[in-house]
Amino acid sequence: MNNKITIMGSGNTGLSTALKMKNDGHKVCLFELPEFSESLEKNNTEFKLNINDKQINLKLDLITTNVDEAISFSKIVIICVPAYAHKEFAKSISNKISSEHLVVLMPGTLGSLEFKTILKKNSSEIPILGETDTSPFVCRKINNNEATILGEVPSLGVAINPKEKTQAYVDKLNSFFHGLISYKDVIMCGLSSLNPVVHPAGVILNSGRIEKSNGEFYFYNEGLTESVVRVINSVDSERKNIANYFGHEIDSVADAFHNAGFGIKGDLLETISSSKMLTSLKAPGVVNHRWLTEDISYGIYTWSLLGKKFNIETHTMETLVEMGSILLGIDLKINSRNLDSLGLSDLDISEINDYI
């Protein structure tokens, strides 16, 4: 069995995933773009992984900023970077990646479609592309050679493009990641990401408290009150309506948190308040945080464009996009993921289903 894996991105999720894979007995390459090389340690560095109340010393098999080395190391490439960085990583692998590779974004939020658009534009071979609905771990990078994994997501949703190859490639991923659940396609997976449902409303409606306290409060436990949850549930309803148009019945945000192992089954407040992991998470220290800039520009704004294309009401999403832009003093629609970047702007529903 091939147990080699390449992890691209050396931030919180990237470093944590690389160390977890190594601890599980796999051969691991960790890649970072050259412009972020200061976040990488040298080969033969001893890393520390804090997990299950233990600290484990590990050495990775290859640490590199050379994309050719990273791609040659393994046919399975996992990209663990924020959504706004997907574009640069897609450019970096263009005309180097092959159709024999599997490239999975963890998470994606429709980013696999943006990858496909960029690779096609650059006349590159197109690998099997995939994405997950969230990161595989709740984790933190302590410094360049240490990471902490607080918990593992017990049910990690994944989709493959083209969708007819889903089972074969999810089977390959099962050798590395536990609890994988297959979505029917990348649209269903991209609409199942929970962060854009919760974070924009939660941050905007707690912006005063975030600025006064520098985020020194428990976001899910104290920030998501009954009135805030009403806004979140409105976003959730719009998201589910878009999914329904594509023929997908997706879980409500409350059920999705429960099914992912975060709390008891109930309404959103009941589920969140019963989750030790969620209630332990602090709010961001500033309002200008990726919970707004990423989860709006690459999340609910993109979803709202899908809704608008097919005449589906997304009033709450659009309102949060505008409110977030006013709060930050920037237009969050400008540097964003739009239908052109997804390759969907000129396609009807039937053509989209064929495309994915």
Q: What is the pLDDT of residue 33?
A: 95
Domain covering 4-190 in this structure, CATH number: 3.40.50.720
Distances (CA, A) of 314 to 109, 150, 204, 319, 320: 17, 35, 18, 9, 10
Collect contacts of 82-86 with beta carbons under 8 A, ≥24 apart: 82/11, 82/290, 82/294, 83/109, 83/111, 83/294, 83/297, 83/298, 83/299, 83/337, 84/290, 84/293, 84/294, 84/297, 84/298, 84/335, 85/9, 86/111, 86/114, 86/115
Q: What is the pLDDT of residue 348?
A: 96
Where along the chain do its domains lie? Answer: 4-190, 195-355
CB-facing half-sphere around the CA of 2: CA atoms within 13 A: 12
The model's pLDDT over 192-247, given as tens digits with 9 standing for 90+, comes to: 999 999 999 999 999 999 999 999 999 999 999 999 999 999 999 999 999 999 99
Q: What's the pTM value of the predicted model, to 2 decimals? A: 0.94
Q: What is the dihedral of CA 278, 279, 281, 284, to 10 degrees?
A: 110
- On whether the CB atoms of residues 58 and 19 are closer than 8 A, the answer is yes
Low-confidence ranges of the chain (pLDDT < 50): none
Q: Please, what is the Cα angle at 121 between 115 and 127, to 5 degrees?
A: 45
Pick the CATH number of 195-355 from 3.40.190.10, 3.40.50.2300, 1.10.1040.10, 3.30.450.20: 1.10.1040.10
